[in-house]
Amino acid sequence: MYAYLHSDSGWGHSNAGVVVSGGETLLVDTQYTLPMTRQLIAALEMAGLPPVATLVTTHANGDHCWGNGLFPAADIVASAATASAMPHDFPPATMRRLLSEELAATAAGRYTRQHFADFDFDGIVVVPPTSTFTGVQERAVGGRTVVLIEVGPAHSDGDVIVHVPDAGLVFAGDILFSDHPVMWAGPLQNWISACDRILQTGATRIVPGHGPVVGPQGVRDFRGYLELVSSELRQRFDAGVPYWIAATELPLGPYEDLALRERLVATAAVEYHHLGAAKIPPPEVLERMGQAYIDASRN
């Protein structure tokens, strides 16, 4: 097993995983851009690994699957919900527009430039899965069994974790973050249950979608964050506090020092919807998130 990790755990810098057995290679997730995915491929080749036969896409966010097109021979596996979401999940053209001069004066445009300007979105074609499943699916990689477990909707509509039982290892996708996470689907209770599912595997090593490898305590700590945010957001929803204000005033206790706090704006918007509020259009959420980042930078 291999984990392909980034020193930067922020936007767009996602981890990948590799399982090798009996001359076969299974890859968990690609990268955000074609140049980044080519670097991943070069690392696989440098390690002398067999060509990738199976590619598991843990969810539809571009930083985990926009490099899929560089693996034309692989069987690309994802949940059916991920396959449905991929054509609509912030396509590359949207990212290029957010980086354009047209939106440079908006909070959303300023935020996007701050965090995404260094990514090259040229040439990306969103490649859908060739195989889908729901629930749980076992895959043989050489002589090793790999278990794909659908735990979404949580972070996204179709989150999948990849469990390698004989190694005590889980590739968690974006069910785990080392910074503030962002929630696109929810509700938070589903995400908490997804963390429980990881712990139920008994795995001792868990590779997050973003950040360093952790053990079970890292999962429990992240679960505690989700429980705290869920409780605090419900209180503010019941009190009639707007979602973007709730996100900026939440008392976070031991989690105060996590990076990218402005992501809580998006998480709050989605959770409020699950609590009964009208669905907030994504452009508004992104503008509010950008403004939260700008306001925090001034303080």
For helices 282-298 and 263-275, give the axis angle rounded to 10 degrees.
140
pLDDT of residue 97: 87
pLDDT of residue 297: 87
pLDDT of residue 257: 95
Q: Is the pLDDT reported for residue 88 higher than 90?
A: no
Closest by CA to 208, choosing from 260, 154, 162, is 162
**Residue 142: its H or E element:** none
d(CA 239, CA 242): 9
pLDDT tens track for 183-207: 999 999 999 999 999 999 999 999 9
Question: How much is the mean pLDDT over the chain?
Answer: 96
131-133 sheet: strands from edge to edge: 2-4, 16-21, 24-28, 52-56, 75-79, 131-133
Q: Please compute the mean of the pLDDT values over residues 65-85 and round it to a whole number.
A: 97
d(CA 87, CA 15): 22
pLDDT of residue 89: 83
pLDDT band at 67 (very low <50, low <70, confident <90, very high): very high
Q: Please compute the mean of the pLDDT values over residues 221-226 and round it to a whole number.
A: 98
Q: Please compute the mean of the pLDDT values over residues 237-249 and round it to a whole number.
A: 97
Percent of the chain with pLDDT over 90: 93
Within 10 angstroms of residue 255's Cβ, the number of other Cβ atoms is 16
Percent of the chain with pLDDT over 70: 100
Both tokens of 289, joined, read 């998130």
d(CA 82, CA 244): 28
CB under 8 Å to 239, separation ≥6 — which residues? none
pLDDT tens track for 116-133: 999 999 999 999 999 999
CB under 8 Å to 257, separation ≥6 — which residues? none
Domains of the chain: 2-215 (3.60.15.10)
Q: Please compute the mean of the pLDDT values over residues 230-234 and round it to a whole number.
A: 98
H-helix segments, the chain: 34-46, 62-65, 80-85, 92-98, 107-116, 188-200, 216-238, 243-249, 263-275, 282-298
Q: Is the pLDDT reported for residue 143 higher than 80?
A: yes
**3: helix, strand or coil:** strand
**Residue 25: its H or E element:** strand 24-28
Q: Please compute the mean of the pLDDT values over residues 151-155 and round it to a whole number.
A: 97
pLDDT tens track for 96-116: 888 989 888 999 999 999 999
pLDDT of residue 157: 96
Q: Is the pLDDT reported for residue 178 higher than 90?
A: yes
